Structure 1
């Protein structure tokens, strides 16, 4: 038994168990001694007890300094230990384990390569406390915006990363993550609902039907509006399960229930849909329902908007049904080049030989997307010299075009380019498109009419297929989208008059109809906003104030004042809309920010600005650019199809609310829809399972 010597003793026993020997006392028989002093005397008189302090064992001391996270210990050529900085390679000689680390620590402060601190240092030095709730919110947003599966939080290496950053972190399960995302959805929905209740104007809506790979139907609802700062806003409100059958009645009931859920059933201006037959009947039923509550202006005359991009797509698809043999040869040539790696390499050598850029890419078209055919022709024309050179290097290549065939391809490409540019223009969602409708559509119509008698039979044949369908849609053109160009100060109503005269001659009934509908809508706006804000017909306040009283004035003065209107003419009685249209137009070539223009003009033409705010927010297409050209339906990917409908809606809507357009950048750009296989150095991409 080891016994600690009391105070006053000049020596100690040390660690009694280190030597393995038991001290021998003078007395053979052990006895209990109450007097500590007597025991000490007896120990001192013992001849066999070595009172010297035993040597401590040579235990290896742990390197506990943080400096060892930044240095590695190695043996040099002479067998001496050196400490090398992991950043710059500077070495220190380590003579023994007792050598200090001061020099090495001071070096770290001045190391030229150690410009940033590692994660461990940041967490150690950070004065802020770890907020687990904020951490979970970040996890939710990460899973949402990047389309990650819920089980992402259970991935082994992700868990290891989190635990490295904070060893005592409390991780969540996939089920908890689902619940968190649903909570975030409900929280953000309250914010969006409050925002929609405060907007200064009306909402324009778009709706689409989608299907999953399991054949479940979904319906999306997106609202578009211009806020009080004259910024175009867009929110995906719903992505809801749509049970069968998808009849007009079920679509109408579903849409109206979604509007009521958001509390916007009385704030709607228009609804843009594609050309499905069920959509027309659903709009009729929805109009009847909304007119019962007087929810729409002009009894909903301008409520239904047909998707313009979809109509252009259908027109062009008809023109490509009987495609020219020269275009077929381009397709077959592309297939031939991609047939083997050796051919690809040969073609690339030809590209380099004629000095063309290989990065542009040679593309294979996709039959369901007419723009991919346009892009295939566009790139084939760019590589025309490479194809000619390829024919010389590959005797088996028999598909090279003659000079006449290349001319045909150039003309077909030029004919389609206008429709391609118009479709891209219409598909924008970050800028107003309603004011952009009239001019491009008229240009497409004029192009078709001019090419009716084309000397090129293949162009003439395409026009014969396209023009009847275009005229069918033109006869059912959207009046409100023609009116929209009036609110572009570069064009106004004179622009409509100019083009109708070119198409139909002077005094056309179409122009008079547009003008009549424009002023009828303006009168409805005047009535609505005058009742709402207590204004007169010119937007002036009629509330009581310091009014001049002429009742006791000299009668001659009163008469003279009343004659002012006669002196200055009846122009003082013109409406705001008339005054706006009489104002000088801006330069057509000016790069105008139309929303910024109306932001600065809104107080000059109050009622006209209210009209402009609502009309300019109308989206003229229901689809994003990457699906404008598709003739197939909109289909959810494998990951979204595997989600429960409530989870899919929460993820899609919340991502749009929190990240908006930034989240859409992950989608495939329009120019990448065609398959680009020219770069033989590219590694094949492999998809990951997202369950």
Structure 2
């Protein structure tokens, strides 16, 4: 690869050398000296003794720096050894060579750290011009050269350009194909932006997520325009020939966008299996549509719980009374009681779950507070309990699909299988209410999943706890033995594998592969969340082991892998670690596994960028140029990822408010708070 290749917006950066004085002190091995060394801020504030002198060959030089008032020169025993000095107070030894310089401050390093802070903490560019900040910096380093907001913007652009080149080399060097997620967003000033995120597995078998572009997207936002934009952005990074799949939400424009993209990529012969696996629909978005459909039927009971939480939140007096009810019913007040965001059904599930925990406290509050009239009846509490249990399956699946730090494609089939079984179970329920809800949701479920991407069924094969047996087990349960659906998945699996074998330099069939342990355990592996009552069916799968593959003497890597015993389903395995350990036994198969396991099943990674974009492009900074906005968003992701406080993944806790955590000032309650049952909710 030509490392001189330039990437989007790349520019050359000139580095300036550090400036230091002629005298020097440099630490030579002691690290814990800050608490004992003299306060150098006192230099220049009092009269100090005469400076030390140092004997040099042919001359005697006086050391002029005030630092030497606190250090003694250590006489050299050998003319060739390094000149050292000793702190008069703590006794630590330091290098005294003039090449080091007495000044430890670097203006260039200061500017670099300042830009990093502004990007990481989403600070305004005017931060560098605040008088208070300038005073603090001047106190710490009197020789500091302050910079303006325009200089800071320039530094941000240079940092972005530098990281573009670094990421470009990383993308070119990654051994896996690259998967994309994309979504559109409208800013506070109604400008359209397109987020394009790359997902790939690096040479260390670590899943990487990088925002490639946060680009201005002018209207129209139809399929043709989206396809041109995405292809243009991918080409600017030089990855159009490395694409494996793209995950988009279910907007109609995305269907035509994918069709155009596939045609463009086919011309370059870039797609696997002629693009059969290229388009992945956002599973989290589909789940959201299904659950929202069901919630239309349960609005009444949900609304009652919502009103209960609002009532408690309404004033300090109500919160105190509710807290007393919690104490009297021996409940733990540390457990959260949250108010939901109506547009986020998963926050509604959390609200229902927390309200059920405080059910006795609400009933007690109804008896002690005559103004509290929205407490659900016994029958309504029963409905809420059934709804909460029903929604738990969807909540846990959505959480599993929304991850970006671990593979999600292998989780798809087991999770969707659970949902389908749960819906089928409730459709045959004796409870008319639950049967009506489940039937309505099942219609939408079948609409979206009747023709899902076969890639998402194939992916479970590369989880050593499931392999192909889980697909056979599931289809036997749903469609009966020997179904066409099962044959279709098996055929697609071997077609994809055979295509990888053809394009590989390593022979694809081998009978001499040594067999080893097929489990890689880790205490940090992601535990599967299961409902023991609903999913005892999986225990039946644990005993299922009937699929037989070809019995030819010369078996392929895929057949050898599938013939090996499965790992225990309950074992905690990091799938990428497993394939990292098996890559030399199954070189072709591991390449396929690497590509399939990096496919995201949701667009959460791209959507979460918009919360960051909204914080950067807020009402106070809405005039920022589009180039600066992109530089701030992308650079923060590349340098800090999820390590910064403003993580891209907005937690539900940031959207919902825990009523039990709100401080109650009892002294103020004794004053003049007057309760009005008809008053509006007070914003705290």
Asked if TM exceeds 0.5, the reply is: yes
CA gap 1:331/1:301 in 2 versus in 1, 3 angstroms: same
Shift of 1:396: 1.8
Partner of 1:659: 640
- For residues 283 and 152 of structure 1, what CA distance do their matches in structure 2 show? 43
2:157 equivalent to 1:182: yes
> How many Å separate the matches in 2 of 1:68 and 1:207?
53
* Distance in 1, Cα, partners of 2:649 & 2:147: 29
Q: CA deviation at 1:196?
A: 0.8
Is 2:507 aligned against 1:536? yes
Offset, 1:667: 5.4
Tell whether 2:385 aligns with 1:410: yes
TM-score scaled by length of structure 1: 0.74
Select 1:161's aligned residue among 127, 131, 136: 136
Q: In the TM superposition, what is the alpha-carbon distance from 1:641 to its structure 2 partner?
A: 4.4
Q: Secondary structure at the match of 2:183?
A: strand
Matches within 5 A, 1:377-416: 377-416=352-391
> Partners of 1:448 and 1:671 in 2: how far apart?
29
Is the counterpart of residue 481 in structure 1 residue 456 in structure 2?
yes
Name the count of aligned residue pairs: 537
The corresponding residue for 2:479 is: 504
Question: Distance between the aligned counterparts of 1:308 and 1:363, measured in 2?
Answer: 26
CA contact (8 A) 1:218 1:239 kept: yes
- The answer to whether the 8 Å contact 1:213/1:635 transfers is no
Q: Name which of 436, 439, 452 aligns with 2:427.
A: 452
Q: Distance in 1 between matches of 2:657 and 2:441?
A: 27
Q: Is the 8 A contact 2:617 2:624 kept in 1?
A: no
8 Å contact 1:539–1:607 — kept in the other structure? no
Is 1:439 the counterpart of 2:421? The answer is no
Q: Deviations over 1:192-234 (max 9, x none)?
A: 0011111112111111111101111100111111111111111
Equivalent residues of 1:428, 1:625 under 8 A apart:
no
1:263 maps onto 2:244 in alignment:
no
1:558-601 Cα shifts (integer Å, max 9, x gaps):
xxxxxxxxxxx964322111111111111111100111111111
1:227-277 CA deviation, whole Å, 9 max, x = no partner?
Answer: 111111111110000010001111111111111110101001000001111
Pick closer, same or farther for the CA change 1:280–1:66 going to 2, 3 Å.
closer
Q: Give deviations 1:9-58, integer Å, cap 9, x for gaps.
A: xxxxxxxxxxxxxxxxxxxxxxxxxxxxxxxxxxxxxxxxxxxxxxxxxx
1:484-532 alpha-carbon deviations (Å, 9 max, x no partner)? 0001111111110000000011111101000001111111101111xxx
Which of 446, 451, 471 is the equivalent residue of 1:471? 446
Structure 1 position 376, deviation (Å): 1.0
Distance 1:130 1:66 in 2: 16
Residue 656 of structure 1 and its aligned partner are, at CA, apart by 0.9
> Does residue 548 of structure 2 align to residue 600 of structure 1?
no
What is the SS of the residue equivalent to 2:660?
A: coil
How much does 1:453 deviate?
2.5
1:355 offset after TM fit, Å? Answer: 2.9
In structure 2, the CA distance between the partners of 1:227 and 1:404, relative to structure 1 (3 Å rule), is: same
CA shift, 1:382, in A, is 1.1
| 1:249 equivalent in alignment to 2:220 | no
| Residue aligning to 1:374 | 349
The two structures have a TM-score, normalised by structure 2, of 0.74
Superposed CA RMSD in Å reads 2.9
Gaps of 5+ in 1: 1-64, 71-107, 111-124, 542-568
Choose which of 557, 564, 574 in structure 2 pairs with 1:583: 564
Structure 2 CA distance for aligned equivalents of residues 524 and 154 of structure 1: 59
Structure-2 separation of matches of 1:634 and 1:209: 16
Q: Cα offset for 1:637?
A: 4.5
**In structure 1, the residue corresponding to 2:464 is in which secondary structure?**
coil
* Paired residue secondary structure (2:219): coil
Q: Is the 8 A contact 1:309 1:423 kept in 2?
A: yes
Between the aligned partners of 1:297 and 1:677, the Cα distance in structure 2 is 52
Task: Report how far residue 379 of structure 1 moved.
Answer: 0.9
In the alignment, what sits opposite 2:396?
421
CA pair 146-639 structure 1, distance change in 2 beyond 3 A: farther
Which secondary structure does the structure 2 equivalent of 1:573 belong to?
A: coil
Given that 1:438 and 1:481 are in contact with CA atoms closer than 8 Å, whether structure 2 keeps it comes out as yes
- From 620, 639, 642, give the equivalent of 2:601: 620
| The one of 205, 215, 232 aligned to 1:240 | 215
Other-structure match for 1:547 = none
